[in-house]
Structure 1
Amino acid sequence: MATKVCVTGGSGYIGSWLVRKLLVKGYTVHATLRNLAEDRSKVDLLNSLPNADTNLVLFQADIYNAHEFDDAIQGCEFYKDRVEATVAGVRIIADCCIKSQTVKRLIYTATVLASSPLNEDGSGYKSCMDESCWTPSDHLPLTYANDYVLEYTKAKTLAEKELLIYNEMEDAKLEVVTLLSGLVAGETIQSHLPLSVQVILSPFTGNMFGYYQGLKFMEEVLGSVPLVDIDDVCEAHIFCMENPSMKGRYLCAAADPTVREIKAYLEENHPEFKIDEKEEAEIRGIKCDSSKLKEMGFEYKYDIRKIIDESLECGKRLGAL
């Protein structure tokens, strides 16, 4: 019998790519959406994936109706969560996993924004970013911040900390892995350009909807812009799932350029596009040490060139460039 995996947010950027990879690998996938009746285009996308007719089961589940997750999780060995950015939300999910008595590992798609190497007083950066770094809880004076990104960063940081507590509970019988994913870019199977890809393309497209400001905010908080390709981040989720035993924090980023280095690459290799030039303070560039995941045996297939070039092709294909 095929191993069952539950994926929340199954129609999202990471979720849909991961569901496809799992189906191709022969897993049975339980994917959740907030509203099956209203999300017909999302349902149709997932049902069109390889082996979906035999190995995919869709469930309606909303965190405000926690019991809806019980059926989706029941019988699954692994649970992949990316939707929750609240302490209460991740508690509900973790408790559902424990109650199922079948889920042995919860893999949470965390964000590198929760692992800032900034000093607590905001006076500068540590020498590098690794899994020991936690973003300061106080709202530091950041040039590119706004209330939304500050609250999101704080919420994701607190939610990740809450989940990791379950690794210390002897009676929980649940392993929790948090994958601190860099800015995810590359291709998509969605019909629109994902927000994170729009952020990486913002040196071309400008600050429409605040995307370029988001790129600079990430650099300001982290000292660089950690990047990871959509295919690599999904492979990392599967790697964490297939390991015999695994728990704790893992940074997931293949490259760590500054915004200036991203612009330099674009200008040199894609002169057909005009860079939106701005006078900005230079960031020194803090390295993102993702060696912990690599030491476990994981290998990245996409470097900065492939990530950016694939994102550009995706943007052109979907009419964003």
Structure 2
Amino acid sequence: MEADKGKVCVTGGTGFVASWLIMRLLQHGYSAHTTVRPGPEHKRDVSFLTSLPGASKKLQIFQADLSIPESFESAIKGCIGVFHVATPVDFENKEPEEVIVKRTIDGTLGILKACLNSKTVKRVVYTSSASTIVFSDKVVDTMDEGFWSNVDYIKSINYFTFGPYMISKTSTEKIALEFAEEHGLDLVTVIPSFIVGPFICPKFPGSVHTSMAMILVASKEKGYSKAFQDKSKMRKEQDYESQDSKKRSLKGIEGYKTPGVSPKKLLDSGFEFKYGLDEMFDEAIQCCKEKGYL
């Protein structure tokens, strides 16, 4: 029997990325701790995690909430590494931007402090987002990890319901890196673009949902088509009512072109891409069909 390589904590265990991480960690001989939000309103089906090979002996599930940073301490205790994946995703604007940003920052700092206090965590991997890079008034074809999105610019382009998410990810990554440098914590941030592909969690992941927006609209996916039409109508009304309607209308037609994101640093580290876009979308579509979303 393969020796246990140690315990690793993955926050936000019911999400797309986190659930795949848990499965891979178990496959590679690690024990895994993961967190899910507590309370009846956040009741999640975790059977897809507990039924993973090796989970009965090597997976522990803890309740934790970013609104209560200290709630992550138990899950992190005794771990040698932490993958911080959990993040508030509210594309329906149920909460004010300030609330989302504060919860994301406070929760992340609480997790980093728990890592320091544990005396066992050797490395933290924080899942950031390409939205922390590409949104600014800089006109370039390609950006890399040396660029930062401008929060004021994101607010100025009124990027529909994605703005609070982009702002929270940008602000949180900056603060997390500053904290890690100040306290000597080994922190690595990963900056993915849209994440798409097959998913093992039962819930339709937001990133896959967004990446497949046109496919879902075309297939008249329940609820999405109406929401898309409502947002388009709202934008047209804003353009009409604006005193500078001609400029707003032209901007709406042209759209915002985001720069490409360079994978050079990733490739230089030895990483190799195994799947192309065709495979990623084909498998995502097949997974959606199997789970009844298409």
Offset, 1:58: 1.2
Match status 1:57 vs 2:23: no
Identify if the C-alpha distance between structure 1 residues 176 and 159 changes in structure 2 by more than 3 Å, giving closer, same or farther.
same
Structure-2 residue corresponding to 1:160: 173
For the 8 Å contact 2:129–2:191, the answer to whether it is kept is yes
The alpha carbon displacement at 1:109 in A equals 0.7
Which residue matches 1:127?
A: 141
Select the structure of larger CA radius of gyration.
Answer: 2
**Cα offsets for 1:59-109 (capped at 9, x unmatched):** 111233333222211111110112246222211111110000111111111
Task: Sort the Cα spacing of 1:92 and 1:187 in 2 relative to 1 into closer, same or farther, 3 A.
Answer: same
Report the counterpart of residue 241 of structure 2 in structure 1. Answer: none
Cα distance, 1:13 vs. partner? 1.2
How far apart, CA to CA, are the structure 1 residues paired with 2:268 and 2:230? Answer: 34
Identity %: 32
The Cα of 1:168 is off from its aligned counterpart by: 2.1
- The answer on 1:313 being equivalent to 2:286 is yes
Q: 1:2 aligns with which of 1, 5, 20?
A: 5
CA distance in 2, matches of 1:38, 1:150: 25
Partner of 1:195: 206
Relative to structure 1, the CA distance from residue 12 to residue 178 in structure 2 (aligned partners, 3 Å threshold; closer, same or farther) is same
Kindly provide the amino acid, as one letter, of the partner of residue 267 in structure 2: K
Please report how far the alpha carbon of residue 308 of structure 1 lies from its aligned counterpart in structure 2 after TM superposition. Answer: 1.6
1:149 counterpart (155, 162, 165): 162
CA distance in 1, matches of 2:8, 2:19: 13
| 1:133-172 Cα distance to aligned partner (Å, 9 max, x none) | 11112145436x12x4212211110100011113422xx3
Letter in 1 for 2:281: I
* Contact 1:166 1:176 (C-alpha < 8 Å) held by counterparts: no
SS at match of 2:67: coil
- Per-residue CA shift, 1:15-39, capped at 9, x if unaligned? 1111111111110001111128776
Q: What SS does the aligned partner of 1:126 have?
A: coil
Q: CA deviation at 1:40?
A: 6.3
- Structure 1 residue 12: deviation in Å? 1.1
* 2: CA distance, partners of 1:99 / 1:192: 34
Distance 2:76 2:9 in 1: 6
Answer yes or no: is the 8 Å Cα contact 1:117–1:129 preserved in 2.
no
Contact 1:60–1:68, Cα closer than 8 Å, also in 2: yes
Q: 2:268 corresponds to which letter in structure 1?
A: E
Q: Contact 2:11 / 2:83 at 8 angstroms: preserved in 1?
A: yes
Match of 2:225 in 1: 208
Q: 1:302 to 1:87 in 2, by over 3 A?
A: same
Change over 3 Å in CA distance of 1:162–1:210 after alignment to 2: farther
TM-score (norm 2): 0.76
Moved over 4 A (4+): 36-41, 209-214, 282-285
- With normalisation by structure 1, the TM-score equals 0.70
Equivalent residues, number: 249
Q: How far apart are the structure 2 equivalents of 1:76 and 1:308?
A: 35
In the TM superposition, what whole-angstrom CA distance separates every residue of 1:189-224 from its partner, at most 9, and x where no partner exists? 12243222122222122253757999xxxxxxxxxx
Which runs of no fewer than 5 residues in structure 1 stay unpaired?
Answer: 215-278
Between the aligned partners of 1:211 and 1:306, the Cα distance in structure 2 is 26
Question: CA distance change for structure 1 residues 212 and 297 in 2, over 3 Å: closer, same or farther?
Answer: farther
Structure 1: how far apart are the matches of 2:180 and 2:44? 38
User: Structure 2: 5+ residue runs without aligned partners?
Assistant: 88-100, 218-223, 232-251
Task: Report 1:203-282 matches (<5 A).
Answer: 203-206=214-217, 208=225, 280-281=253-254
